[in-house]
Structure formats: structure tokens, C-alpha cells
Amino acid sequence: MKSPKPLVEIVATGRYLPDRVLTNFELQKLVDTSDAWIRERTGIRERRIAPPDMGAAEMGARAARIAMDRAWVHPGEIDVIVVATATPDRLLPSTACDLQALLGAGNAAAYDVSAACSGFIYALQAAEGHIAAGRAEIALVVATEKMSGIVDWTDRQTCVLFGDGAGAVVVRKATESSGLLSSYIRSDGNLAELLWRPAGGVRVPMDAAVLDDRSHLVRMAGREVFKSAVRSMAEAADQALMKAGLTSEDIALLIPHQANMRIIEAPAKHTSIPLDKVFVNIDRYGNTSSATIPIALDEALEQGRIRRGDRLHAVAFGAGYTWASAVLRW
């Protein structure tokens, strides 16, 4: 089967990681854990933590400015900003609107996508829709997360996993054969309580009892999430490859969501992609939720691991439960 003609392409990327490094050794002082346990079970050595006064919009804006500079795009030229985040600065208005104001992108429509760790691919697909329908010429897709603001720093099962960071891409109409060849998004709300924040919304509003039992923070059924992740990443990987008319042998680089080294290995094993064709940076950043894929893409380009014409395969899963994948020709 021939690959479909792409409708949009990513013309530039950018990333922002806060300077502050939090090592496993520092975490040993906070909770009952060890560097050895975290490394062996997750592959994480350290993660980045944003300063208290920096939110998701500011982190996203820093990544976006780099992508926009590289794409030679001025803020006023952006037609739509789609922000993927599970850690909005405020519940109202959207983080995308705050980011729009920071960038001075006064001609854009801006909104958030809430699909947790799958959010970047969801947002990319939304941007593709705007451009394909002729509603936009230039889209900015940003994934930005301040996970340090929503994890429970007394829960050793979750606090060791996450980190802060942002990635951004500028998307335009595809001109040739490079671009987004396929994408696939799915969700299953029946699994919502595997990974969630039980309180703090309108159904269980924030009050003294919520603060006391910390139910406004992330709760996770780790082993169940692990099993669902392996299953859904495999399905998502197959679907996007099939829609792109490709097999795993055509893929130059697999960019999986960086949640756990053992979960990263799962779609690689499923699609028989050797580990040297899998991008990994979980050791340095942990799980930055929706931001892992655009951060990895930006780093892979910087490291010269992607060449013109290469086919890339991104695969993600996250709270919701959501899962997603995309195949791109660079």
C-alpha cells in the first residue's frame, strides 16, 4: 500500500527544560526509596523541576519561541494554538490563552486539549484538521507540563516518575511528501480511575478535607497502568503504521512516550524495532506527560538522529485512559 499524501508538516521544533535537576539521591531524602530501585524499575536517574513562580504557559512559551524562530514565524502569523496539558496554570481560562498572551500571538484562536500523556498527538491531529479544512495556515502545537505541581510528594510510587518540561512544534500545510502520514487516537473512560486526581474539580471541590487527604493530587494504580500501557501502545503502533501503509522496517526512529524504560521497550519489541532505533531520554527527564514526545523529537533532531526522508513513529498512552500514535515522514 502506498503512503497517503501528508496534509501537514512540522516545520520546526523547540523545547524547554527547567535548569533545576532533581536526582534520585535527593528523592531518597523525601520518601522511602532508593536510586537503585528507581533506576532498575523505571530507567529514571533525574528529572527537571520548574521554579515555583513558573507555570505551564511560561514553559510552553519558551519552547514555542524557539520553534517559531526556527520556522521564521512571527507571533501575529499564527492562526491557531493548541496546547496539550494535564497541568493547567488555572482552571479558567485555558493555558493556551495565557500562552497566546505571553507570545503576543494576537491573531490566533487558542485552546487546550486534555488527553494527558497522549495529548501531543491529539493536539497535532487537531492542528492537522484546522489546516486541512482551510481554517488555518500556521498552527502552533505546544505540550507543556508542570508535573511537580500535581504529584503527591509523599507518595513514593508516583513522585519518582514525573518531571517538568515543554515541547513545541510549528505546523504548516505540507508542500511535498514530508509530513504527517497518519495518526490514530483512542480513549477508554472506563479506565479513568487508574490514573487520576479524584478531587479539586466541580464534582468534588477543593476543601479542607480534600487538602487533608491529598486527593487533589495524582493517584495511580501503577501495575494496572503498566499492563494497559503495554497493550494500548502495541495497538496504537499497529494502527498508525497500517494507516501509513508502512511496516516497522520502514521506520528510522521510534519515539515512544517516556513513562518507564520497560514500557518504552514494549512497542519496540512488539514492532520488532531494535533498541538503537528507539529514542530514549527518560533517564534525564522522567515522565513529562504530554511533553515527552515533542521534547524527544527536538533532541533527536539536534543530535542528528533524523534525516530528510526518514520515517518516524511516535506512540503514547496516558490518563483517561488515552492512547495515540503518529507516523511522520521528515
Catalytic (active-site) positions: 117, 257, 287
- Distance between CA atoms of 237 and 272, rounded to whole angstroms? 11
Q: Which lies closer to ligand COA via its Cβ, residue 93 or residue 222?
A: 222
Residue 196 touching ligand COA (CB under 6 A): no
The region of 85-93, 165-173, 200-208, 218-226 touching ligand COA under the rule CB under 6 A is 218-226
- Distance between CA atoms of 140 and 12, rounded to whole angstroms? 10
The region of 34-42, 87-95, 98-106, 120-128 touching ligand COA under the rule CB under 6 A is 34-42
Residue 111 touching ligand COA (CB under 6 A): no
3-state secondary structure of 64: helix
Which three three-digit cell numbers place residue 136? 488555518
Q: Which lies closer to ligand COA via its Cβ, residue 219 or residue 243?
A: 219
Residue 222 touching ligand COA (CB under 6 A): yes
Q: CA nearest 233: which of 198, 269, 207, 200?
A: 269
CA 227 to chain centre: 20
| Range 167-186, binding ligand COA (CB under 6 A) | none
Which three three-digit cell numbers place residue 201? 474539580
Q: Which value, to the nearest 10 degrees, does the dihedral of the CA atoms of residues 190, 195, 200, 201 take?
A: -30
Strand positions, DSSP E, 188-310:
195-196, 219-220, 253-256
Q: How far is the CB of 32 from ligand COA (least distance, A)?
A: 7
Residue 114 touching ligand COA (CB under 6 A): no
- Distance between CA atoms of 169 and 172, rounded to whole angstroms? 10
CA atoms within 13 A of residue 14's CA, in its CB half-sphere: 23
Could you tell me where the DSSP H helices lie in 83-207? 95-103, 119-132, 156-159
Q: Which lies closer to ligand COA via its Cβ, residue 62 or residue 257?
A: 257
Q: How far is the CB of 317 from ligand COA (least distance, A)?
A: 6
Q: CA nearest 316: which of 302, 326, 305?
A: 326
- Distance between CA atoms of 28 and 23, rounded to whole angstroms? 9
Residue 11 touching ligand COA (CB under 6 A): no
Residue 165 touching ligand COA (CB under 6 A): no
- Distance between CA atoms of 68 and 232, rounded to whole angstroms? 33
Residue 296 touching ligand COA (CB under 6 A): no
**Single residue of 117, 139, 140, 241 touching ligand COA by CB under 6 A:** 117
Residue 156 touching ligand COA (CB under 6 A): yes
Residue 42 touching ligand COA (CB under 6 A): yes
Residue 105 touching ligand COA (CB under 6 A): no
Beta bridge partners of 219: 196
**Single residue of 11, 12, 126, 225 touching ligand COA by CB under 6 A:** 225
Q: CA nearest 8: which of 171, 239, 218?
A: 171
**Single residue of 37, 198, 204, 280 touching ligand COA by CB under 6 A:** 37
**Single residue of 3, 28, 114, 157 touching ligand COA by CB under 6 A:** 157
Q: Which lies closer to ligand COA via its Cβ, residue 17 or residue 220?
A: 220
Residue 259 touching ligand COA (CB under 6 A): yes
Measured at the alpha carbon of residue 206, what is the angle toward residues 200 and 209, in degrees to the nearest 5?
Answer: 120
**Bond prior to 256 in cis (omega within 30° of 0):** no
Q: How far is the CB of 223 from ligand COA (least distance, A)?
A: 5
Q: Are 188 and 172 in contact (CB under 8 A)?
A: no
Q: Which lies closer to ligand COA via its Cβ, residue 43 or residue 60?
A: 43
How many residues lie near ligand COA (CB under 6 A)? 22
Contacting residues toward ligand COA, per CB under 6 A: 33, 37-38, 41-42, 117, 156-157, 160-161, 195, 220, 222-223, 225-226, 229, 259-260, 263, 287, 318
